[in-house]
């Protein structure tokens, strides 16, 4: 809310809304709606004086200090921070690519969870579900099944 003088902050993002991971267990438990757990990045950028570029970054030109964007001109930088998120290596666990859903990338988790819940409602749907991981999002993923 109090920008540094002579500093221009730019946010390059492919998504204009991003889920707040700390609220994901509450969404799964039904305490929050998915909309309540998402951050409106356009509104946040406007409130903080941040330039928002809705685009996909595809590389860095380190010599020229430019972020390369798909279908847009590059963006100059003096300092750059890159959040590439995380994608678990499901291939490292036999059968996981076919039978598991990953919490991350978090932006697509709720859609995958909804699809799993729909499959569970089918007469021949999954009946034995395990959550792997000890983080809050991993342990809370049992909740929809416990109440079913």
* Judgement on whether residues 63 and 95 belong to the same structural domain of the protein: no
> Given CA atoms 128, 30, 83, 41 in this order, what sign does their dihedral have?
positive
Task: Please state which of the ranges 12-21, 32-41, 73-82, 95-104 shows the lowest mean pLDDT.
Answer: 95-104
Structural domain ending residue among the three candidates 76, 102, 118: 76
CA distances from 10 to 2, 15, 55, 78, 124 (A): 15, 14, 12, 11, 49
Distance of alpha carbon 15 from alpha carbon 85, whole angstroms: 13
Structural domain ending residue among the three candidates 46, 76, 106: 76
> Domain limits at 57?
10-76
Q: What is the mean pLDDT of the chain?
A: 84
pLDDT interval class at 52 (50, 70, 90): very high
Domain assignment of residue 3, yes or no = no
Torsion of CA 127, 131, 137, 140, to 10 degrees: 50
Strand partners, 57: 69
Structural domain ending residue among the three candidates 76, 101, 127: 76
Full-model pTM: 0.71
């Amino acid at each position: 809310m109090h920008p540094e003088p002579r500093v221009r902050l730019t946010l390059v993002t492919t998504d204009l809304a991003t889920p707040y991971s700390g609220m994901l267990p509450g969404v799964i438990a039904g305490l929050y709606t998915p909309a309540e757990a998402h951050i409106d990045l356009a509104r946040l950028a406007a409130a903080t004086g941040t330039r928002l570029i809705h685009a996909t970054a595809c590389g860095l030109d380190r010599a020229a200090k430019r972020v390369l964007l798909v279908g847009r001109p590059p963006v100059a930088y003096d300092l750059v921070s890159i959040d590439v998120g995380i994608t678990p290596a499901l291939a490292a666990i036999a059968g996981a690519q076919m039978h598991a859903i990953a919490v991350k990338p978090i932006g697509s988790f709720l859609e995958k969870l909804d699809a799993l819940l729909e499959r569970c409602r089918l007469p021949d749907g999954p009946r034995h579900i395990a959550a792997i991981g000890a983080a809050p999002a991993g342990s809370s993923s049992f909740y929809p099944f416990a109440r079913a």
